[in-house]
Structure 1
Amino acid sequence: MLSTQYKKLFSIKVHHAYHLNSGDIEYGNLDEKVRQLNLRKYNWQDFILISPTKATEKFFKRFQLLLKYSNEELIVFARVSEQNVQESFIPLEQDLVLEFLINYKDPYFENYTDINPLSEEKILLSNFLPTHFQGIDFDLLPVESEDRMFSNDFLIPRESIDSYFIDSVSQTAGTHAKGLLLIRMQGENGNLNVTNLNGTLKLSPTVFKLHFNNRSTFWNYHQNANNTSATTNSLKPLTKNGFVQIQSDSDFDEPNDDLSELQFPNPSVERIKIEANNYYSEIYI
C-alpha cells in the first residue's frame, strides 16, 4: 500500500516585539516562565496575514506542496518520494518562485510597529533579487540565525510592487496588499536556498525570520481636571504585555506638582500622532 509522505520544505518564523516583550524587557531577556507564557498567548496571524497568490495556489497543486500555519511560523511542506525523503515527489524547478501577499489583520499594526507609514511604500521580502526590482535597494529576507530585525530597508516604492502584478490574475489583490513575499527555490546565496543545488530537499530546511520591532513613542499625558499636559523626555516602548514604570521626577523635564501624585498608565495603541517626524502617544488621566 502506498503512503503519502511530506517533508518540510522551508518555514518563515514571524515574531513581533510588541506582542512578545514585557514592558521594557526584551523577549530574549525575559525569565523563561514569562517568555513561555508570552509565547503561548502569541499568534502572528492575529496581526498580519501572509497568503499565496492565485498563481502560487496553482503551483501548490502542481508540485503537491502544503501550506500550514503555527502560532510562530508559516510552513511549506513538499510531498516526497517513498524511496528518498530528500527527493520531491514531483521535481521542484530551481527557478520556481512562490509568491505571497502581505496584509494587515490588525488596523493598528503600524501604530505599534517600528515601520514607516505605508502610504508611498510597500514591504518587499525576498530571498533573491528579482529582475523586476533591479536598481532598487532593499534588504533580503533574513534567516533565523542572522537575528536581524525588520526595518525600513525592506520597504520599496509602492508603484514598483504594484507594477509587478500587471497582467497577473492577482493584480487587484496585489495592488491592495501591504507587501509582497517571494521565495525562490534557489536563493541569492547558499544560506538563502530552499533546495540543494541538485534540486533535492535539504536535510535541515531553511528557516527564514521576520522579526518586527515594537515602536517607541513619546508619552504625552493630559490631565483634564487641571488642564495640564506633560510629555516624557525620552521614547518609551509600546508593548502588549507588562508595564513600563513612569517616574514624575525623572521622566519629565519640568517638575509638575499637578502630576507628582499621579499613577501613569501605559498608553493604548489607538491614540498616536506624528509631529516633526516624532511619534507621540496620547494618554488622558
Structure 2
Amino acid sequence: MGVEYDGSAYCGWQRLKHAASVQGTLEAALSRIANAPVQVLCSGRTDSGVHATRQVVHFDAPVTRTQKAWLFGANANLPRDVAVRWVVPVADDFHARLSALARRYRYVILNQPSRPVLERANATWCREPLDAERMHAAAQALVGEHDFSSFRAAGCQSKSRWRHVHFIEVRRYGQLVVIDIQANAFLHHMIRNIAGALVAVGRGDHSTGYLGELLALRDRTQGNVTAPGCGLHFVDALYDERFVLPKEPLGPNLLAFLGEWTGERRLPDSEWARARRQRRVHPPRREVSS
C-alpha cells in the first residue's frame, strides 16, 4: 500500500497511546473495512511534523477484500491529511521495512525575505540568502558509508551508527532550495541535522569542508540546530524489481516540474544491498515490531 500524508497534525508515523499518529489513523481506517483489527508495518518511520508522498506499508489482511475495496474504503475512512494512493498484493516474503533497499527524502527550503503563507506547512522558511552550490559541495563529504554519530539524535535507538548515503544533492529552483538525499537507511533526525548544518554553510557561517569536519568528529554536540520537520518529505522506498510495486512521480507536488520518476536511479553496488536482495525469507510478519 502506498500512503501519502501531511504530518503537521501528527506526532510522527509510529502508533502512540498519548497522541495522534499516522500509523494509528491508518490502522483504524483499515480495521473498519475488515471489521477486525489490522496492523501495518512501514518502510521507514517519520518524525513529528514530517510528510510523506510515498510511504510504503504492508499488512496481512484478516479478511478477503478487493483492491478497490481496500483503496476506496480506506480513503473514505481517513481524514483529509492522509490518503492511500495504491494497493497491490505482494509475495509472502515481502516486508515493507526489511525488504527495502533504500529510502529517499527531499528537504524543501523556501528561501525568500518574507514568511511563506501557502507553503508554510510543507517547506522550511529561511530569510537569509543561501548559496546552494556551496551547500551541494559541502554535502558530498557525506556520500558513502560512514559513522553518522555527528548527525544522530541523542535519543536514537539504532544499534548501528553506520549508514550508506547513495547520493545527496542540493539544488536551487527559483526561491526553492532542495536537499535530495538517498541512503540504505537513516538515523533518528539524521536528515534534519544534516539540513541544519548545510543551511549554516549556505549562509556563509562555515566553509564547504564543514560537514566533513563534523562527520569526522562523531560528536552530535558539535553540530548545528535540528532543522524543522515541516520541510522534510519522505518521497520513495526502493525494493527489488521482483516485487513489482507501482511507479509514481516523486513528490512533493511542489517539485512536480522536475519530472523525475520512481526507480530511475541505480543503486550503488554494496554488500548490504546484495544481502537484502538475496534475503527471501523474513520472520513472521506479526512477530516483527513496528
Asked whether the two chains share a fold, i.e. TM above 0.5, the reply is: no
Which protein is bigger by CA-based radius of gyration? 1
Report which structure shows greater RCO (CA 8 Å, sep ≥6): 1
Q: When you count helix as a share of all residues, which structure comes out higher?
A: 2
Q: When you count strand as a share of all residues, which structure comes out higher?
A: 1
